Amino acid sequence: MSMLYEGALQDLVEEFGKLPGIGPKSAQRLAFHILQSPLEEVEALSSALTEVKKRVRFCEICGNVAEDERCVICKDGRRDQSIICVVEEPKDVVAIERTREYRGLYHVLGGSIDPMAGVGPDDLRVKELLPRLQSGEVAECVIATDPNLEGEATATYLVRLLSSVGVTVSRLASGLPVGGDLEYADEVTLGRAFEGRRPVTG
């Protein structure tokens, strides 16, 4: 979109337009929303932006987001220290925490192996994982990378790498998503669901 507003409003439209998933029309709508919002609300957003850059860093142990050297999960002594779940991103930690199924620790890789994008194991927090698993405290490592091409490649790499470490290495079950329709499942998912079928008794 060309320069159509005066200075400050145009600047804001352009800044919003740089954000992922915000097109020119959304950027304009957001800018007008800001213009019509109370000053306190705008200042809250404005300072939340810079506060994140000032205060948030990455946990020196697991790579999760943190406001200290260690994240809230690594600092929590009540978490099961014998199991580490490996994920790609901090938001995957949030997704798993939301299930309330898991009480162990995490290891955040910071991405997945993606040769097309030039991302190899050395670009991820892989070398930081090994000493954690070798401490003697850990019995199991759950690999919970994304069920897509890059995530699968990363999982395969890690399974091979960790085979000699002496901890149980497991992966999340693949299968049909709960609440979905079988007919809408793609072939690969349905195939995995068949592979992983379990005997049940009535």
Q: Which residues bind a copy of itself (CB under 8 A)?
A: 2, 4-9, 11-12, 14-16, 18-21, 25-26, 28-35, 37, 39, 41-56, 65-67, 71-72, 89-91, 94, 97-98, 183-184
Q: How far is the CB of 26 from a copy of itself (least distance, A)?
A: 6
DSSP string of 33-76?
A: HHHHS-HHHHHHHHHHHHHHHHH-EE-TTT--EESSSS-HHHH-
Give the residue with the Cβ less far from a copy of itself, 90 or 104: 90
Give the residue with the Cβ less far from a copy of itself, 20 or 131: 20
SS3 (DSSP) at 181: coil
Q: How far is the CB of 93 from a copy of itself (least distance, A)?
A: 9
Give the residue with the Cβ less far from a copy of itself, 2 or 163: 2
CA atoms within 13 A of residue 146's CA, in its CB half-sphere: 15
Q: Which two tokens stand for residue 52?
A: 């994140």
CA 91 vs CA 33, 80, 103, 172, 184: distances in Å: 28, 20, 17, 17, 26
Give the residue with the Cβ less far from a copy of itself, 92 or 138: 92
Q: How far is the CB of 86 from a copy of itself (least distance, A)?
A: 19
Give the residue with the Cβ less far from a copy of itself, 71 or 85: 71
Give the residue with the Cβ less far from a copy of itself, 11 or 137: 11
CA–CA gap between residue 190 and residue 186 (Å, rounded): 6
Q: How far is the CB of 201 from a copy of itself (least distance, A)?
A: 34
SS3 (DSSP) at 184: helix
Q: How far is the CB of 97 from a copy of itself (least distance, A)?
A: 6
CA atoms within 13 A of residue 185's CA, in its CB half-sphere: 17
Q: How far is the CB of 161 from a copy of itself (least distance, A)?
A: 26
CA–CA gap between residue 1 and residue 146 (Å, rounded): 36
